[in-house]
Amino acid sequence: MNNNTTDDFEASLLSNDSKRKYMIHLFNRIASRYDLIRLLVFLGHTSLWYRKALSDLELKSNDKVLDVGCGTGESTRYIKRLYPQVEIEGLDISSGMLEIASKKDTQGHYFEGDVCNIPRPDGCYDLVLTCFTFRNFPDAELALNEMMRILRPGGRLLILDHFYPQSPVWRIIYTFWMVKVAPKIAGLFIDDTKPYHYLAKSIIHQLKFVDFIQRLENKGLQVVASNLYSGGASGRLIAICNKQS
Ligand SMILES: C[S@@+](CC[C@H](N)C(=O)[O-])C[C@H]1O[C@@H](n2cnc3c(N)ncnc32)[C@H](O)[C@@H]1O
């Protein structure tokens, strides 16, 4: 696939290798402006969502944690601040995003890789988290298999992601903001705003929250927490992995 000719607006429908290549290209392209644009597009709500989703995890000393799709490391650093005693690593497929993460956290451990083929042995993490990333994975089933494989029996998988609000009024406002306003905000900082058209589409195509829970349960995961925030614009799921895939 030639990434430059991909219709970004329809990219949320891609899968497998086309999607993988598209994601690398997209995130490398926006990496240097990613944090600032996100702050403006979501009006600072991301910090609120991290606080709600990550502050009740009760991680223990020396727990091993992997942040999958760590991006510029905001979620990774958030966990570090809350639980300085844990050992956390960040994995991402975009070298551009990882470069920013490593600059912002020079003591941190960030490495390049694909969620569909995580270069780590079976059962080595107590917690695997992935924040605002699941929609971008090239193969959702394979990604889940891999994240389950690297969890120890009884380990937890945490998924925090954007969802499409269910309330009709909120949906109209949210759609207008994401489809019409967000790309304009992004356009103040980057020439090519197509990634922000993709963002809107990927949220609109996101599974419904209840279907997402079902997907995890179908994999044999035990969902122990499911929370929607900001009228359903984002949501968190925590699931215990009792068996390895
Ligand atoms: C929207 S950003 C979220 C970053 C971070 N988790 C946060 O909360 O700010 C999504 C990240 O997922 C990464 N990503 C996309 N596909 C991936 C894959 N197959 N494997 C690993 N990371 C991936 C992207 O490179 C990008 O950095």
pLDDT digits (tens, 9 = 90+) for 114-128: 999 999 999 999 999
Mutate to test the pocket of ligand 1, among 21, 76, 92, 128 (most ligand atoms within 8 A of CB): 92
CB of 148 within 8 A of CB of 219? yes
User: Does residue 40 lie within any of the structural domains?
Assistant: yes
User: Does residue 185 lie within any of the structural domains?
Assistant: no
Q: Quote the domain boundaries for residue 141.
A: 3-166+196-241
Q: What pLDDT does residue 204 have?
A: 92
User: Does residue 190 lie within any of the structural domains?
Assistant: no
User: Does residue 37 lie within any of the structural domains?
Assistant: yes
Strands (E), the chain: 64-68, 87-92, 109-112, 125-131, 151-162, 222-229, 234-241
User: Does residue 175 lie within any of the structural domains?
Assistant: no
**Taking the chain, what is the end-to-end CA distance rounded to the nearest angstrom?**
31
Atom of ligand 1 nearest to the CA of 143: 19
Q: Can you tell me whether residue 4 is helix, strand or coil?
A: helix
User: Does residue 147 lie within any of the structural domains?
Assistant: yes
Check pocket membership of 136 for ligand 1, CB cut-off 6 A: yes
Predicted TM-score (pTM) of this structure: 0.93
User: Does residue 179 lie within any of the structural domains?
Assistant: no
Q: Are strands 125-131 and 234-241 parallel, antiparallel or unpaired?
A: unpaired
Q: Give the integer Cα–Cα distance in Å for 3 and 5.
A: 5
Q: Report pLDDT digits (tens) over 130-144.
A: 999 999 999 999 999
Tally of domains within the chain: 1
CATH number at residue 49: 3.40.50.150
Q: Report pLDDT digits (tens) over 182-205.
A: 999 999 999 989 889 999 999 999
CA atoms within 13 A on the CB side of 100: 20
Q: Give the integer Cα–Cα distance in Å for 200 and 226.
A: 23
